[in-house]
Amino acid sequence: MGRGSKGYRFSREQREELEAALAECKDTNCLKRLQILAWRASGKSREEIAELSGFHMAHISTLTGRYMREGLESVATERRVSGNRRNLTREQEKAFLEKFESVGVKGQVITAGEMRTEYEKLLGRKVGNGTIYRVLSRNGWRKVMPRARHPKAADEEAIEASKKLTLGWTNQSSD
């Protein structure tokens, strides 16, 4: 398990452990990490692995070192926090939005700025600009704006034709 001149030396048990983990792994990202380690254990250089995998040589070194220090579990599991970085639970978000739903149903205008202010009061701290929009999107709200044009307005051709029919006024002041 020590380091040689070409990097880490993998024991037979480690190679078998990696092969077994490769056979069981179903996550694509985990599979890629394990494949890199399996290639490294088979004696391939960082340069060869970088060419095969598309990963940077520094990442390959980091991955190998982590496996040697911390074992298979450190490489086989995802290190990032899963995608739920919400401030409130789904139920809390729905309860928060119910206050605004009654205002919207009455036809009154609700702005994201007003909602954000209330959201910040609820959390007791400031939040980023996009936070309230993500809350709205997660809960199926959509942006509704006043229409740009009246539905019974004349079409563009009729408007242009009426402009041609108007009388032209000229200045008839006496000199």
pLDDT per residue rounded down to tens, the chain (175 residues): 444 435 678 899 999 999 999 898 888 888 999 999 999 999 999 999 999 999 999 999 999 999 999 888 888 876 655 555 668 888 889 999 998 888 877 777 788 889 999 999 998 889 888 888 888 888 888 877 767 777 788 888 888 877 776 555 555 565 5
Runs of H (alpha helix) within the chain = 12-24, 28-41, 46-53, 57-70, 73-76, 90-105, 112-123, 131-138, 156-165
Domain boundaries of the chain, sorted by first residue? 3-76, 90-138
Give the residues across from 7 on adjacent strands: 4
> Is the distance from CB of 55 to CB of 4 less than 8 angstroms?
no
pTM over 0.75: no
How many whole angstroms separate alpha carbon 115 and alpha carbon 129? 11
SS3 per residue for 16-60: HHHHHHHHHCCCHHHHHHHHHHHHHHCCCCHHHHHHHHCCCHHHH
Considering only CA atoms, give the Rg of the chain. 32
- pLDDT value of position 85: 63
Give the closest residue to 119 by CA, choosing from 135, 102, 138: 135
pLDDT value at residue 1: 44
Alpha-carbon span 113 to 141, nearest angstrom: 15
Separation between Cα atoms, residue 130 and residue 87, nearest integer Å: 13
133 φ, ψ to 5°? -65, -35
